[in-house]
Amino acid sequence: MALTPVENQTPGFVAAVAAGSGAFFGLFIGTSQGSGPMGMLVGAVLMALLGFAFTMMTNKENQIRWALAAAFVVAGFATAGLPAAVLGVFFGWFAGWFIFWLATSRYRAHLAPYLTSGQVLWYYTFRVICGVIFVFLITPILVVMPLSFNSQDFFTFTPEMLRFDPAGFSLKHYQDFFSNQDWQNALWNSVKIAPMATLLSVTFGTLAAIGLSQPHVPFRRAIMAVLISPMIVPLIISAAGMYFFYSRIGLQGTYMGVVMAHAVLGIPFVIITVTATLVGFDRSLTRAAANMGAGPVTTFFRVQMPLILPGVISGGLFAFITSFDEVVVVLFVGSAGQKTLPWQMFIGLREQISPTILAVATILVGISVLLLATLELLRRRSERLRGMSPG
Amino acid sequence: MSDTTQNGSVLAADGTPLKRSLARALRRQKIRALLLIAPLLLFVMLTFIMPIGDMLFRSVENDIVSKTLPRTVVALRDWDANSGEAPGEEVFTALAADLQIAAEAKLHTRVGSRLNYETPGISSLFRKAGRKVKKWDVENDGPFKEQFLKIHKGWGDPDVWRTIQTYSPKFTNGYFLNAADLQKGADGPEWRPEDEQIYWLLFKRTMFMSMVITISCIVLAYPVAWILANLPARSANLLMILVLLPFWTSLLVRTSAWKVMLQQQGVINETLVWLGLVADDARLVMINNQFGTIVAMTHILLPFMILPMYSVMQTIKPTYLRAAKSLGATNWTAFWRVYFPQSIPGIGAGSILVFILSIGYYITPELVGGTKGVFISNRIAFHISSSLNWGLAAALGAILLAVVLVLYWAYDKIVGIDNVKLG
């Protein structure tokens, strides 16, 4: 929906702005080919010409954009093969979109009519800045994934990979992960420790959260502060304290010790999510159940639990990921027999740096995507159950 | 009325006064709530609070000297540390008796290394003496002073004896003094030599770098939170994934990603070299220094800043800004005088959270910090696992804990623990 009536821009304006963008990208291409200023000049002139010409032909936008992308691909392929062709697709698409976006004043259409041109410029500059920050957030994760398919033992993109040569890619790091005994032991330990810790923290945490959300709880604030503290106290301090204390009582270096340490670290997350779910819980439901003759246990499992289940599960997921990702505490409380996946990664990063870590990292990113999706579904379900959102 | 007795008090159905009946119901409710909480509270006490307490206890505990050398400690009580001379024969006799027992139980080296933290060199005195004393006959072989001096003339050094005397009480503030770069001198605490003052520097660096990380998080998170709060729900949710995905990704994955990217042969340097912005032989050093730590930790902690800011900015109505502008404010004035003040609670909450998390960070500085970019927590880990000076590690931990608890208290005052939201 257009807020502002717009008309096509003059060729001069489009050519000038397009030239600016051409100069910007030309600078990079130019420096990589040996001469920055030359690249800037070529880019600017090229984009200016295209901008000037296309402003007259806005009625044939689709055909021109396809043709432009194709031309860039061919030009790229002719000069430097497949990688340049991929870059060409990007530049061709961008140039076509950018020029027509300017020429037809589409950029102005959904903005309020009273904005000055300076404000419009700032609006888009701000979006570009945000885009850069989002790239900063996501790049490290995106870089790790393709690198894990590297066929060399390097931590960088090899020329073969950039040429999309199949020889540059392989699954050997994944193979190493699944065949190497150290990694398999670590994975197995993680799988043994995390669910047990989650079970402990969810059971205790849910009970306590129900207790905490009763209307009259003495010392509520103090209790809450104590229960949340494992999340706030720096891990190294928790680890040091647990190391000292658990060695005194013989838990240091045992499976139970690690499970208990991880369980206590997960408890704040369970408390927070479950109490948040209980805020919207209608107490008259439990009274109604009691009225109809259900005992406290039946009421809990048949009435209260199904309603707060989404909160409990998401708390459990938080507790699980806390234990599954935890390295500082297990490093001190555990012994070689409890070496978890993060511990093995930590050793791998500090001592013998091997690209298998990247394969493990990619698998872990996959797991966190799954968990994130589950959480989002649960959140929506919980809101629907509590009638907080339509739908 | 039927439920009112002659004296006028209201009765419940079973005949007890209503007031008492209600009080009983309330009490039962409280007890039930506490019973539900009790298992967890006990669990947290046992697995978390007691360990922390143990650590605090260890930071002042010092019974090893008085336990291993009980007679010596008693005999040494009357010796004047400022006399400039080693104590007399009776102290050496006591020491011989103590050391013989300790050497049998192989405890003399422990006491030696404990005292060695305070005065370097004592450890070897005890080791050498322990070996010899085992063969002596404590009853008849005296006098011992000459014999000890023969083993090592360090036993005649009043400084050694002053250290033993200073550290003979059951509790000490020595670890804390040490953690603050002080030492026990002849008359009260004094600064350690200039070249041994490392903890003050580390605390300063930890504070400084946490501050830089917090500020860069504010700068990067503010625009992102703003755009998330002002976009239509559908696009905001899509962009939210870009924030939550790193948040949910394993810490080690993100740290290894930064290691891969920042290395000299890493992705960023390769790209810069390919673009010709950096010469091949002048690759940027971005890892194993403060820069690497700051970049990686800013990335890791950024979601903790974005999420609280976002939840605050969501509640600020866009009409306020429009109203300000229609009253004649410029863009900047409208933002600075109307929008920004309302977003300060979000900045505060996020900043305290990020600051708390960053001053206690261990993994990322350890992996990408090198020697110049490590935090106080790395030193604590070093003292626990390598130098085995647990008391000092505990004292450093106690100081760090105090700082964090003050911030936690502030967070509770400003935001409220109940209002912590996840995801």
Is the pLDDT higher at B140 or at B262? B262
**Can you tell me the distance from the alpha carbon of A315 to that of A202, in angstroms, rounded to the nearest whole number?**
7
In A169-234, which ranges are E strands?
none
B186: in domain: no
- Asked if ipTM goes beyond 0.95, one says no
Contact B401 A237 (CB under 8 A): yes
DSSP structure string for A45-77: HHHHHHHHHHHTTGGGHHHHHHHHHHHHHHHHH
Long-range contacts, stretch B325-332, CB < 8 angstroms, 24+ apart: B331/A119, B331/A122
Is the pLDDT higher at B70 or at B40? B40
Sorted by where each begins, the domain ranges of chain A are 11-114, 180-385
B184: in domain: no
Domain end position, chosen among B24, B42, B58:
B58
* A:137-156 residues touching chain B, CB 8 A cutoff: 137-141, 143-144, 147, 154-156
Residues contacting A382, CB < 8 A, separation 6+: A277, A310, A311, A314
The answer to whether residues A67 and A22 touch, using CB atoms and an 8 Å cutoff, is no
Q: Does A261 touch chain B (CB under 8 A)?
A: yes
Low-confidence residues in chain A, pLDDT < 50: 389-391
* A:355-384 residues touching chain B, CB 8 A cutoff: 357-358, 361, 364-365, 368-369, 371-372, 375, 379
Mean pLDDT across B135-151: 77
Q: Are residues B324 and B279 in the same domain?
A: yes
- Rounded to the nearest angstrom, the minimum Cα separation between A331 and chain B is 10
Is the pLDDT higher at B248 or at B52? B52
Write b or e for each residue in B57-86: b if 16 or more Cβ atoms lie within 10 A of its Cβ, otherwise e. Answer: bbbbbbebbeebbebbbebbeebebeeeeb
Question: Nearest 5°: phi and psi at B374?
Answer: -90, 160
Q: Is the predicted pLDDT of residue B142 greater than 90, yes or no?
A: no
* Structure confidence at residue A217 (pLDDT): 85
Q: Are residues B152 and B213 in the same domain?
A: no
Say what percent of chain B tops pLDDT 70: 96
Best mutation target among B37, B49, B207, B216 (most A Cβ atoms within 10 Å) is B37
Q: Are residues B224 and B107 in the same domain?
A: no
**pTM, full prediction:** 0.84
Residue B11: beta bridge partners?
B17
Contact B363 A328 (CB under 8 A): yes
* Closest residue, chain A, to B357 (C-alpha): A234
Domain end position, chosen among B42, B58, B74:
B58
B185: in domain: no
The residue to which tokens 């804390």 are assigned: B176
Mean pLDDT across B266-295: 83
Total structural domains within chain B: 3
**Can you tell me the distance from the alpha carbon of A321 to that of A198, in angstroms, rounded to the nearest whole number?**
9
> What confidence tens digit (pLDDT) does each residue in B192-218 have?
777 777 888 889 999 999 999 999 999
Q: Which CATH superfamily, name and number, covers A180-385?
A: MetI-like (1.10.3720.10)
Largest CA distance in chain B: 102
Q: Are residues B46 and B69 in the same domain?
A: no
Best mutation target among A35, A133, A136, A374 (most B Cβ atoms within 10 Å) is A133
Residues contacting A104, CB < 8 A, separation 6+: A6, A8, A9, A58, A61
B179: in domain: no
- Domain containing B117 equals 63-172
Contact B265 A154 (CB under 8 A): yes
Chain mean pLDDT for chain B: 85
Residue B1 pLDDT grade (very low, low, confident, very high; cuts 50, 70, 90) = very low
Nearest CA-CA partner of B216 in B126, B331, B299: B299
Q: Are residues B247 and B389 in the same domain?
A: yes
DSSP assigned state of A169: B
* Structure confidence at residue A187 (pLDDT): 92
Q: Are residues B380 and B249 in the same domain?
A: yes
Q: Does A340 touch chain B (CB under 8 A)?
A: no
Q: Are residues B69 and B37 in the same domain?
A: no
B190: in domain: no
* Structure confidence at residue B38 (pLDDT): 92
B182: in domain: no
> What confidence tens digit (pLDDT) does each residue in B332-375 have?
899 999 999 999 888 988 898 899 889 989 989 988 888 888 88
Domain end position, chosen among B172, B191, B224:
B172
Q: Which residues in chain B touch residue A246, judged by CB atoms under 8 angstroms apart?
A: 51
> What confidence tens digit (pLDDT) does each residue in A215-250 have?
888 888 889 889 988 988 999 999 999 999 999 999
Q: Are residues B205 and B161 in the same domain?
A: no
Nearest CA-CA partner of B212 in B355, B341, B8, B421: B355
